[in-house]
């Protein structure tokens, strides 16, 4: 009896301890990882099998998508579930407060479809909203980045809703359940999450709601602790009950607008955040829209991606069209990389001049992707000498006169963060989905008691015209979508899906996707090798950004001899000098799928398949 009483007392003490732990964490933040539920799923960079696949940057998110597939959901259902989970475990890259682009292959219709869920500018935004009225010069970037002025109307929830209603098999409420559980139960803090928090610590401390959530007890989250976000769980439950009208016409939206207009500054903050222009009518007016995908036929394969307002599809497609004029071979890898860099340099010059929101600008999408224009631009490339940047753009409406190495403008700013996922199901449907809140940590402003950061996507607009006297399609404007580089891509071979790929990384998204395709399709690498290979990124700049692995390679010396200049890639969304973080998949013979994630970048990603093969 005494033994039993002791056991009961011990159990009561344990229950009290867990109760106190839960109470102490009810406002969010980190706590000790006290039980097995908090342990992260195993992480693999490559998984091969059948029945469906998911790849993302995080194992919690990939497992959320796989669980939906396991219960009979399709690729769209899994993509939304994965994206919602990324909003919990990758909150500095994506979430309810952001936007993105989804590319979907419909196996039944044998057709590629897309959704533009890009954020929009408020109705009162003008072309000079980022200029100092007293001087006429652009406002300091840090005053815009960490402010309500940079926050665009979120498009992510509208994208989820539209995708599920058009192509999914489950309601939004069901797709949000896995992410809601993760937000409630918590996830284990890893080195990457702590490092990204540390990179943002200074600006996070300027906002009370952000400090309260992401700096528990005023400190960086501890690696191995459990990070809970009950506020986000409640937000997801409200979206599940009320639908996305809770954001666009309801209480969540009210809180977003209040936060944008009056950023919640911390006591003693040394930064004064500018108020934003967003009003509730801007949320009510928002629509995620269907777009025609871009299409480039590359060496017999059809490469589909996202059209404007993203520049991803046109820029990757134009570069591939240029490269089709040359023979690329693994027998001369340095020469192949030389042509890849030159094609990217040229297509970026054209991107910056011509691509913007098609509702506000006459974007020559068809002409940018024409074989004639690509051939015209390819004449700039010499096999024995690198071009010098910045190059002037060509005129896709008048091909035949652009083999002139004129000087142009340098690349405009674009935030470097974002996240990407791919899914496939047993019926052959495929999703390639890139979503973002702009730079890592977005605007640094968390909506109080809602558990998510707001984007600073409007900084993707050009603050002032790039060239005086030349139309700039990417100036701010009322209801306008800023130009993006997000490049969710699906490659078809003989009309059937072959590869789905995408990446985060701001403007380097385009070069990351392009280089991965060149590695796989031209240099004969396996998809895992194509993803893991060292990256270089030329975006019409004087110097090409490069990862450390490339700078020590034999190809670097050969490209130096051709006149290329290389600099170490900046430390942007990670503490390491990395370019991109790919999530991809490839369809193999005999009904197999290979899901592929980064082996090392951003701490390594997570690839999963429903029925794994030995």
pLDDT tens per residue across span 358-414? 999 999 999 999 999 999 999 999 999 999 989 999 999 987 765 777 776 666 655
Helix (H) or strand (E) run with residue 195 in it: helix 191-204
For 37, the 3-state DSSP assignment is helix
pLDDT of 236 = 98
316 shares a domain with 237: no
User: Quick check: is 200 in a domain?
Assistant: yes
541 shares a domain with 431: no
276 shares a domain with 149: yes
For 120, the 3-state DSSP assignment is strand
pLDDT of 396 = 94
pLDDT of 35 = 47
Tell me which residue range forms the domain holding 223: 95-122+134-288+417-460
246 shares a domain with 146: yes
Structure tokens at 371: 């074989």
Cβ atoms of 148 and 278 closer than 8 Å: yes
Q: Is the pLDDT confidence value at 538 over 80?
A: yes
346 shares a domain with 262: no
pLDDT of 398 = 86
User: Quick check: is 99 in a domain?
Assistant: yes
Catalytic pick from 235, 294, 418, 572? Answer: 418
319 shares a domain with 334: yes
User: Quick check: is 244 in a domain?
Assistant: yes
Q: Which residues of 535-560 are buried (b: 16+ CB within 10 A; e: fewer)?
A: bbbbbbbeebbbbeebeebebbebbe
Burial zone of 78 (CB within 10 Å; 0-12 exposed, 13-18 middle, 19+ buried) = buried
DSSP 66: H
Q: Provide the domain count of the chain.
A: 2
Q: Is the pLDDT confidence value at 8 over 50?
A: no
160 shares a domain with 198: yes
User: Quick check: is 269 in a domain?
Assistant: yes
Angle of the 251-261 helix axis to the 230-242 helix axis, nearest 10: 130
317 shares a domain with 239: no
pLDDT of 29 = 78
pTM for this prediction: 0.93
User: Quick check: is 25 in a domain?
Assistant: no
Helix (H) or strand (E) run with residue 60 in it: helix 59-70
Our answer to whether residue 235 is catalytic in this structure is no
Structure tokens at 305: 């991606």
User: Quick check: is 51 in a domain?
Assistant: no
Quote the CA–CA distance of 260 and 350 in Å, as a whole number.
Answer: 34
Quote the CA–CA distance of 319 and 114 in Å, as a whole number.
Answer: 21
Q: Is the pLDDT confidence value at 269 over 80?
A: yes
For 225, the 3-state DSSP assignment is strand
pLDDT of 515 = 98
Note the helical H segments in 71-171: 75-89, 141-145, 156-167
User: Quick check: is 50 in a domain?
Assistant: no
pLDDT of 399 = 76
Quote the CA–CA distance of 505 and 601 in Å, as a whole number.
Answer: 12
pLDDT of 14 = 37
pLDDT of 24 = 37
Residue 448: phi, psi to the nearest 5?
A: -55, 135
Angle of the 230-242 helix axis to the 172-185 helix axis, nearest 10: 170
CATH of residue 530's domain is 1.10.246.130
244 shares a domain with 328: no
Q: What is the pLDDT of residues 495-524, one digit of tens each?
A: 999 999 999 999 999 999 999 999 999 999
Q: Residue 123 region, left (φ>0) first, then alpha (ψ -120 to 50), else beta?
A: alpha
Task: Give the confidence band of 415 by pLDDT, cuts at 50, 70, 90.
Answer: low
pLDDT of 552 = 94
Triad 353, 358, 364: Cα angle to 5°: 50
265 shares a domain with 186: yes
Task: Give the confidence band of 13 by pLDDT, cuts at 50, 70, 90.
Answer: very low
Average pLDDT, whole number, for the chain?
Answer: 92
389 shares a domain with 267: no
514 shares a domain with 454: no
Mean pLDDT calculated for residue range 151-178? 98
pLDDT of 583 = 98
Q: Is the pLDDT confidence value at 85 over 90?
A: yes
User: Quick check: is 34 in a domain?
Assistant: no
């Amino acid at each position: 009896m005494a033994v039993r009483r002791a056991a009961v007392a011990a159990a009561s003490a344990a229950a009290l301890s867990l109760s106190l732990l839960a109470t102490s964490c009810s406002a969010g933040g980190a706590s000790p990882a006290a039980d097995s539920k908090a342990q992260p799923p195993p992480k693999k960079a490559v998984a091969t099998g059948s029945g469906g696949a998911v790849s993302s940057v995080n194992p919690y998110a990939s497992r959320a998508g796989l669980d939906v597939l396991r219960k009979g959901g399709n690729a769209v259902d899994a993509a939304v579930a994965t994206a919602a989970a990324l909003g919990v475990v990758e909150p500095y890259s994506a979430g309810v407060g952001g936007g993105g682009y989804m590319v979907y292959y419909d196996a039944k219709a044998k057709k590629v479809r897309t959704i533009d869920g890009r954020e929009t500018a408020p109705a009162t935004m003008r072309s000079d909203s980022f200029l100092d009225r007293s001087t006429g010069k652009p406002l300091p970037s840090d005053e815009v980045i960490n402010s309500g002025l940079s926050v665009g109307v979120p498009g992510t929830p509208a994208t989820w809703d539209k995708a599920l209603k058009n192509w999914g098999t489950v309601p939004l409420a069901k797709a949000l359940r896995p992410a809601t559980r993760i937000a409630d139960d918590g996830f284990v803090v890893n080195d990457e999450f702590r490092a990204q928090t540390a990179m943002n610590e200074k600006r996070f401390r300027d906002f009370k709601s952000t400090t309260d959530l992401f700096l528990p007890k005023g400190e960086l989250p501890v690696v191995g602790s459990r990070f809970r976000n009950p506020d986000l769980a409640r937000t997801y439950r409200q979206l599940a009950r009320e639908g996305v009208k809770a954001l666009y016409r309801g209480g969540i939206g009210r809180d977003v607008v209040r936060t944008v207009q009056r950023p919640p500054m911390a006591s003693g903050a040394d930064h004064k955040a500018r108020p934003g222009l967003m009003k509730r009518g801007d949320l009510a007016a928002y629509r995620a829209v269907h777009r025609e995908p871009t299409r480039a036929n590359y060496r017999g394969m059809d490469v589909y991606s996202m059209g404007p307002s993203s520049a991803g599809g046109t820029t990757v497609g134009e570069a591939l069209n240029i490269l089709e004029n040359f023979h690329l071979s693994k027998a001369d890898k340095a020469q192949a990389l030389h042509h890849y860099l030159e094609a990217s340099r040229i297509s970026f010059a054209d991107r910056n001049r011509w691509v913007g929101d098609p509702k506000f600008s006459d974007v020559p999408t068809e002409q940018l992707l024409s074989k004639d224009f690509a051939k015209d631009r390819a004449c700039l490339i010499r096999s024995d000498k690198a071009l010098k940047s910045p190059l002037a753009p060509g005129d896709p409406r008048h091909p035949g006169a652009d083999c002139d190495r004129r000087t142009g403008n340098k690349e405009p700013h674009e935030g470097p963060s974002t996240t990407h996922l791919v899914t496939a199901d047993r019926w052959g449907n495929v999703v390639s989905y890139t979503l973002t809140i702009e730079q890592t940590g977005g605007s640094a402003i968390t909506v109080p008691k809602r558990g998510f950061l707001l984007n600073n996507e409007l900084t993707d607009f050009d603050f002032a015209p790039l060239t005086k006297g030349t139309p700039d399609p990417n100036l701010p404007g009322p209801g306008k979508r800023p130009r993006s580089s997000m490049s969710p891509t699906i490659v078809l071979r003989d009309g059937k899906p072959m590869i789905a790929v995408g990446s985060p990384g701001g403007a380097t998204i385009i070069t990351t996707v392009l280089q991965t395709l060149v590695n796989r399709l031209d240099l004969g690498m396996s998809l895992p090798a194509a993803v893991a290979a060292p990256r270089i990124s030329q975006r019409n700049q004087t110097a090409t950004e490069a990862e450390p692995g490339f700078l020590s390679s034999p190809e670097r010396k050969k490209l130096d001899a051709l006149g290329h200049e290389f600099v170490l890639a900046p430390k942007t969304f990670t503490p390491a000098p990395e370019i991109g973080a790919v999530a991809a998949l490839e369809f193999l013979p005999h009904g197999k799928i290979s899901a592929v994630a980064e082996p090392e970048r951003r701490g390594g990603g997570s690839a999963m398949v429903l029925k794994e093969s030995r």
